[in-house]
Amino acid sequence: MNYQPILDRIHGALKPVIGQGKVATYIPELASVSPDHFGMAVVSLDGTVASVGDADVPFSIQSISKLFALTLAFQREGDSLWARVGREPSGNPFNSLVQLERESGIPRNPFINAGALVVTDILVSRNTNAEIATANFLGRLCGRSNVTYDPRVAQSERQTSSRNAAMAHFMKSFGNLNNKVGEVLDAYCRTCAISMSATDLARAVAFLANRGTNPWSGEKVLDASSAKRMSALMLTCGTYDAAGDFAYRVGLPAKSGVGGGIVAILPGECGICVWSPALEETGNSYAGSLALEMFTTLTGKSIF
């Protein structure tokens, strides 16, 4: 399918609502980002790229990084990872502490902050610089050697990470964090501060659309069964506590971030990324969510 006319139509239709919502203000560096950006890219498994707007403008990927950090940790740990983090939707905000106490320090899933801290702890144990390992992994997936994090965003996030620190200390009290809390928080904030464009992220996530194999290099990132399960986690847990509504409206596995990005996959066909920094109440991009809903409506393609 030629996706370019569809993206052009989506971009035109959404121009009146781009900027509606609020940028993430609790991280000062993100608060300064203009809400009027919009970029969308679709990268087919044959390498064809369709894009509109600010698709090649780098932005802070934030919680989108959790998908790739989890993949990297799963490569190293396999199913033993699930002894430390669950696979169920949380139904609570991504930075909630409530379930941790009730569930003895085991995060509900790897895409909420507590779960991502456990994943980061695994990567800290296995890498000298966990954030660099994740950035290099993303670089291999999208075919770029210069993927890195923005130190200003990382510092800004680290200085406002009291709630994440509370979760980390709480999990450590239950024996579910092996490294020093400060080291884990440093790596976590730097990983969230990785900067990439929508086009590069659409290329990076395409391995999941290709049954776990990177279509650009032929690298087997995950076996087909594990790729299926990773995609299932995206569908059920990838868009914060709006995952059910997102699946209902969009019908694609996706992972969002408070930087305004959302990656998604259409299995067997393409990787997708949309970026628009203004968020709705649950932390997902307002215009980005509408764009993906329009994409599946106009193409008639989803996983359902």
Euclidean distance between CA atoms 149 and 54, whole angstroms? 19
Q: Would you please indicate which residues are annotated as catalytic (active-site) residues? A: 63, 66, 188, 240, 258
Euclidean distance between CA atoms 284 and 263, whole angstroms? 11
Distances (CA, A) of 46 to 264, 271, 289: 17, 11, 25
CA angle 31, 27, 284 (to 5 degrees): 75
State whether residue 23 is helix, strand or coil: coil
Backbone conformation region of residue 88, classed left if phi is above 0, alpha if psi is from -120 to 50, else beta: beta
Q: What torsion, rounded to 10 degrees, do the Cα atoms 169, 173, 178, 179 define?
A: 30
Distances (CA, A) of 237 to 63, 180, 189, 193: 12, 27, 21, 21
